[in-house]
Amino acid sequence: MPFILGVSAFRPDSAACLVRDGIVVAAAEEERFRRIKHWAGFPREAIRYCLAEAGMAPADLAQVAVAVEPRAAPDMLRELRSGLAGEPAAARGDARAVPEVVGIALQDAQLAAAFLASPFPEAVVLSVAGAAPGARTVWGVGSGTRIELHGGQDHPDALGLFYRMLTRHIGFPGEGDEYKVMGLAPYGSEALVPLLRRLVGLRPDGGFRLDPALLGDGCALEALLGPARRPGEPLAPRHFDIARATQAIYEETLFHLLDALHARHGLDALALGGDGGLNSAANGRIRLRTPFRRVHVPPAPGDAGLAIGAALLAWHRACPHGDAPRAPALLDAGLGPAFGDEAIGRVLDAAAAQLAAAGCTLERIADAGELVRRTAADIAAGRVVGWFQGRMEWGPRALGNRSILGDPRRADMKDVLNLKIKRRESFRPFAPSVLREAVAAWFEQDGDVPFMSQVFRIRAERRPQVPAVTHVDGSGRLQTVEERANPLYYRLIRAFCDITGVPMVLNTSFNENEPVVCRPEEALACFLRTDMDVLAMGGWVVRRSSSSSLPGFAGGAG
């Protein structure tokens, strides 16, 4: 069974994945091991994890596929060979033996990442470039195991760059701060939409051009929109309006391109990747505003996902005559490390003094049914629960394995989470994890959203029942949960529904201004330094003895 290692290196969110016979068996971002958000460099720890998951040494690999810009290929491949040759695990074979290392063109890896693990046998494939120099927006058609590139446009004409420039103008300079603008946008008016529309020119063929003035030193934006917000300055109504206009122009431009691609190819399925795939608000409107009826966004559509794209594409290229069948669609993002009860127990034993000093009790619940029933009761009573189960998720979203969970019925739960744990901007929404079969009854659209990649509007009559996951515009960035993909998390939400009549829980990532936790040590540290009430790691439950249900809520079916 040949193994291929896929690598995305020396870019933000560097990552590695392992593919066996065309199926992804392990994948992780380097940031989870280094504990530095959006870590860029050689993903040594992610590679070590992937190899260890399969019990392999580098010499056992059939091939290493790295996503690379052609002009950077020689340096990149040399660095990768050097890194692999230095792996201690190579001692299982010839320590100097390094598998064949091949470069996969960046644009090919982008499209492969979006399509080859999608549920679609045929689809339009689009990768929307981010802000990084050299990134391309590319599109084509995927059919079976082949993807035909049909067009693209180069940096600096990139929607990600447009969004990044406006994000910084609003005063959010960090990597990934575009999420904040998406959260802020619904608070603004459309007053500035015509003004920002001047910055993006739409072409008849579906393409677009950014105004060169946008790419200057910021003076043009200040002349157009007023002074940039400085660090520490409060947000003002005009910042809300800029955010609203930024999101509106992004969507207008994206939908203009999608309309052209649909007219050209006549397919109703879209596989969407690239940094633009992270814009969940726009993704959720694609079926409402374009002719596409089916949309797939992978769990890691940005730079990390290039590792999977490179590996899958290399696998199909290496197969005789290129006729290997497609692997089943990737429906579960649990591709990272897992830790059994024995390993978790050792961590808790080592921290016994800390737990005692913090007034915590420890209990082992061996029966999974009892664990989900009691955890669901804790959530329904208003307690904040750290949920650490199974394999760590691949991609930027916590999807029920490394999650912090709360009661979506509580209007004050957002404030509770921000006060106790997240300590982030109050305007940013929290997401609902919802039973797949309940989506149509609670949201205005129905569909599969397993990776929390789309925003749907919650039905108006349902919004008062779940205020903690309802954004100011009535929307929610949902995750649909199926039993076949994540049985334990599904059972937990089902148990919560049995208690409350509400088929969803509030889900946010298990972290505190850091990468999502990977190991039990990190989960326990986050629990102890915040005011989380309960920590469920495997079958172990840590509970603050002072923990009690929040006052002022009687429970029941909303």
Report the alpha-carbon distance of residue 469 to residue 431 in Å, rounded: 5
DSSP states of 206-225: S-EEE-GGGGSSSHHHHHHH
Of 212, 232, 229, 254, residue with least CA distance to 167: 229
Report the alpha-carbon distance of residue 78 to residue 313 in Å, rounded: 21
Cβ burial, residue 305 (10 Å; 0-12/13-18/19+): buried
Cβ burial, residue 331 (10 Å; 0-12/13-18/19+): middle
Report the alpha-carbon distance of residue 507 to residue 387 in Å, rounded: 10
pLDDT of residue 215: 73
pLDDT of residue 247: 98
pLDDT of residue 90: 41
Residue type present at position 320: P
Angle of CA points 201, 159, 265, to nearest 5°: 80
CATH class of 341-544: alpha beta
Q: Token pair for residue 248?
A: 């509106």
Residues 6+ apart with CB under 8 A from 3: 18, 19, 20, 54, 56, 60, 61, 62
Do the beta carbons of residue 432 and residue 504 sit within 8 Å? yes
pLDDT of residue 556: 39
Angle of CA points 101, 71, 86, to nearest 5°: 35
CATH fold match for the domains 3-105+306-322 and 118-297: yes
Q: Which CATH code is given to the segment(s) 3-105+306-322?
A: 3.30.420.40
Report the alpha-carbon distance of residue 521 to residue 167 in Å, rounded: 34
CATH class of 118-297: alpha beta
Q: Give the helix ranges, DSSP H, for 86-135.
A: 106-115
DSSP states of 227-293: SPPPTTPPP-HHHHHHHHHHHHHHHHHHHHHHHHHHHHH---EEEEESGGGG-HHHHTTHHHHSS--
Model confidence, pTM: 0.94
Would you give per-residue pLDDT tens digits along the chain (558 residues)? 589 999 999 999 999 999 999 999 999 999 999 999 999 999 999 999 999 999 999 989 999 999 998 666 677 777 777 777 666 544 444 445 678 899 999 999 999 999 999 999 999 999 999 998 878 999 999 999 999 999 999 989 999 999 999 999 999 999 999 999 999 999 999 999 999 999 999 999 999 999 987 777 678 899 999 999 998 899 999 999 999 999 999 999 999 999 999 999 999 999 999 999 999 999 999 999 999 999 999 999 999 999 999 999 999 998 865 567 888 899 899 999 999 999 999 999 999 999 999 999 999 999 999 999 999 999 999 999 999 999 999 999 999 999 999 999 999 999 899 888 877 888 899 999 999 999 999 999 999 999 999 999 999 999 999 999 999 999 999 999 999 999 999 999 999 999 999 999 999 999 998 999 999 999 999 999 999 999 999 999 999 987 655 555 544 333
Q: How many CB atoms lie within 10 A of CB 152?
A: 17
Of 317, 378, 368, residue with least CA distance to 533: 378
* Residue listed under structure tokens 């007023």: 226
DSSP run (H or E) holding 543: strand 540-544
The pairing of beta strand 122-127 with beta strand 136-143: antiparallel
Of 350, 360, 347, 365, residue with least CA distance to 519: 347
The per-residue pLDDT for range 44-90, each reduced to its tens digit, is 999 999 999 999 999 899 999 999 986 666 777 777 777 776 665 44
- Domain parsing of the chain, residue ranges: 3-105+306-322, 118-297, 341-544
pLDDT of residue 507: 98
The per-residue pLDDT for range 399-446, each reduced to its tens digit, is 999 999 999 999 999 989 988 887 788 889 999 999 999 999 999 999
Sign of the four-CA dihedral 341, 343, 344, 347: positive
End-to-end CA distance of the chain: 52
Up-side HSE of residue 507: CA atoms within 13 Å toward CB? 30
**Could you tell me the strand order of the sheet in which 540-544 lies?**
360-364, 540-544, 534-537, 385-388, 402-406, 504-509, 431-435, 475-481, 454-457
